[in-house]
Amino acid sequence: MFKKILIANRGEIAVRIIRACHELGAKAVAIYSDVDRDALHVRYADEAYPCGPPPAAESYLKAEGLIAIAKACGAEAIHPGYGFLSERGFFPDLCRDAGIVFIGPSGDVMRTMGDKVTARQTMARAGVPIVPGVTERLSDEEAERWIRGAGLPVMIKASAGGGGKGLRLVREASEVRPALQRARSEAKASFGDDGLYIERFITQPRHIEIQILADRHGHVVHLFERECSVQRRHQKVIEEAPANRMTPALRARMGEAAVAAARAVGYAGAGTCEFLVNPQGEFFFLEMNTRVQVEHAITEAITGVDIVKAMIRVAAGEKLSIRQEDLTISGHAIEARIYAEDPDANFAPSPGEILTYRVPGGPGVRVDSGVYQGARVTVHYDPMVAKLVTSGQDRTEAIDRMKRALSEFVVQGIKTSIPFHQRVMRHPKFLAGDYDTGFIENHLKGQEAPDDGAGEARRVAMMLAAIAAYRRDKERAERLDSQPVAARAESLWKSFGRRSQMRSGLR
């Protein structure tokens, strides 16, 4: 086992990896940009080194700089987390050349899977079903020609893509040209590569993915599925495991396909095969994420496997200690991603200082978070501030716990998606498990229809608004009173007090 591991990341995933290091008895080395000196991951670490100015391109993405830090402090391995350098094929190569173990697959595997076009070709050859579409990069003119021939709707995707960036759903012919341009510019900005390809749009798809674990001795297992169909702008918002409307037969087939995909490229470490499943129960390979996923915790909850520790162990050369036949699904788990965003301003990012942070607890509740009271959420990085994971004996208990935990969670100073999650948790379609990736677009736009609970809550909210307005008016009057004003005829506070005694008009 490694004695010292550098974590080439920040935020909640850096904290998560540090926890795994400490449980394994390894020292954890943090890196931090200039705005992250006070970040939580730095405070949990055993060693911490600055890595550059706030923009990620000048700090967390500076591969050579991070390797130099690792060498200087004697770290034997680097864990990339997710995002940043985690899926850049050159990074494992650089680590290998520097004599440092990269915790993840090889650069070759990453290049194969990271380029979505090559991944599609590879999977098709391995017999894994892929989403119908093109298997090469297209120019704008070729793309327009292909779309004219194949018809709409289509998904335009970045060849180097991931995380919903450089991705556009096109339904109308007039949207094709602007969508291509926007996808290209977003892909260029996010990945430094503006290559695009096209897939047919699968109607009413559900996003279901299979977690796999592979060691360096040829053993591959899958840890069942996660359903990530609650998405906004192609970003996952809520995930659950196991999936809704899953049958043991479909689970077995998807698990086998994911294991075959991993074997086809000689995979090592933790990875995820993402699939789209249509209403007929057909599944199509979407892409493979060659890193730990944001939503790995729900799989940990239903299988009891610590995925981050398993990644580190197999990177150290250990054999997987679990066999497929030993794995079972126990209960149900749900994750809600708490983003710093304003649900009332089209989910625009809401950076700022976190003034209050009260985290839920109790049975079946796990919070993975990279912030604390007093921390700043900056515009430089991903707006996710925490992951709230609840688990229970069954889906109903997991949902009940999620509702309960969300109501305990208090974040002030920034706007968060907590109210949005609460709305999802009482939506009949979600409660019935009857939803697809169009759920937010089709069912959560506009105002929520009022129900019995809303009326009483609204009455109390309105009374509280009156009380808060009164208290503020009173404080203002007192503050003005404390200032020396030469020619004031009467104390403002006295006149405020006299008015407050009036009860005219209301009997």
Partner 1 sequence: MIYEVSHGKTTLRIGLREVGESVYELTVDGKTSRVDASKSGRMIYSVIEGGHQYEAILEERGNHGFDVLIAGRLFHLAATDERHKLLSQATKVQAEGKQTITAQMPGKIVKLAVAVGDTVAEGQGLVVIEAMKMENEIPSPIDGHVVEIGVREGEAVEMGATLLVVEPKA
Q: Active-site positions?
A: 291
> What is the C-alpha to C-alpha distance for residues 398 and 105, in angstroms, rounded to an integer?
33
Rounded least distance, CB 146 to partner 1, Å:
24
Rounded least distance, CB 317 to partner 1, Å:
36
CA atoms 131, 137, 139, 141: torsion sign: negative
CA atoms 349, 353, 358, 363: torsion sign: positive
* Strand extents, DSSP E, 259-380: 269-277, 283-289, 332-339, 341-342, 348-349, 352-353, 356-358, 365-369, 376-377
Rounded least distance, CB 29 to partner 1, Å:
26
User: Helix or strand or coil: residue 465?
Assistant: helix
- Closer by beta carbon to partner 1, 52 or else 343: 343
> What is the C-alpha to C-alpha distance for residues 385 and 371, in angstroms, rounded to an integer?
6
- Closer by beta carbon to partner 1, 252 or else 461: 461
**CA 73, 313, 111 angle in degrees (round to 5)?**
80
- Closer by beta carbon to partner 1, 112 or else 350: 350
- Closer by beta carbon to partner 1, 368 or else 382: 382
Rounded least distance, CB 60 to partner 1, Å:
13
- Closer by beta carbon to partner 1, 124 or else 457: 457
- Closer by beta carbon to partner 1, 80 or else 242: 80
Rounded least distance, CB 114 to partner 1, Å:
18
Residues lying near partner 1 in the complex (CB under 8 A): 165, 182, 185-186, 189-190, 233, 342-346, 348-351, 355-356, 379-383, 403, 406-407, 410, 412-413, 418-419, 422-423, 425-426, 453-454, 456-473, 499-507
Residue 209's nearest CA partner among 231, 191, 190 is 231
- Closer by beta carbon to partner 1, 236 or else 251: 236
Backbone angles phi, psi at 30, to 5 degrees: -100, 155
Rounded least distance, CB 311 to partner 1, Å:
25
- Closer by beta carbon to partner 1, 19 or else 474: 474
Pair of tokens at residue 271: 């990875």
Query: Are residues 114 and 89 in contact, defined by beta-carbon separation less than 8 angstroms?
Result: yes
- Closer by beta carbon to partner 1, 317 or else 419: 419
The conformation of residue 337, written as its DSSP 8-state character, comes to E
* Cα–Cα distances in angstroms (integers) from residue 429 to residues 138, 230, 241, 434, in the given order: 38, 11, 17, 5
Rounded least distance, CB 4 to partner 1, Å:
31
For residue 248, say if its preceding peptide bond is cis, omega within 30 degrees of 0: no
Buried b / exposed e over 269-279, threshold 16 CB at 10 Å, is bbbbbbbbbee
> What is the C-alpha to C-alpha distance for residues 419 and 434, in angstroms, rounded to an integer?
21
Backbone angles phi, psi at 475, to 5 degrees: -60, -40
- Closer by beta carbon to partner 1, 245 or else 499: 499
Query: What does R_g of the chain's alpha carbons equal in angstroms?
Result: 26
Query: Are residues 101 and 316 in contact, defined by beta-carbon separation less than 8 angstroms?
Result: yes
Rounded least distance, CB 388 to partner 1, Å:
14
Rounded least distance, CB 230 to partner 1, Å:
17
Rounded least distance, CB 260 to partner 1, Å:
33
Pairing relationship of beta strands 4-7 and 77-79 according to DSSP bridges: parallel
> What is the C-alpha to C-alpha distance for residues 70 and 134, in angstroms, rounded to an integer?
41
User: Helix or strand or coil: residue 294?
Assistant: coil
Buried b / exposed e over 366-387, threshold 16 CB at 10 Å, is bbbbbbeeebebbebbbbbbbb
- What single string gives the DSSP state of each residue in 359-414? ---STTEEEEES--TT-EE-TTS--EEEEEEEEESSHHHHHHHHHHHHHH-EEESS
* Cα–Cα distances in angstroms (integers) from residue 350 to residues 96, 294, 304, 383, 424, in the given order: 39, 20, 35, 8, 21
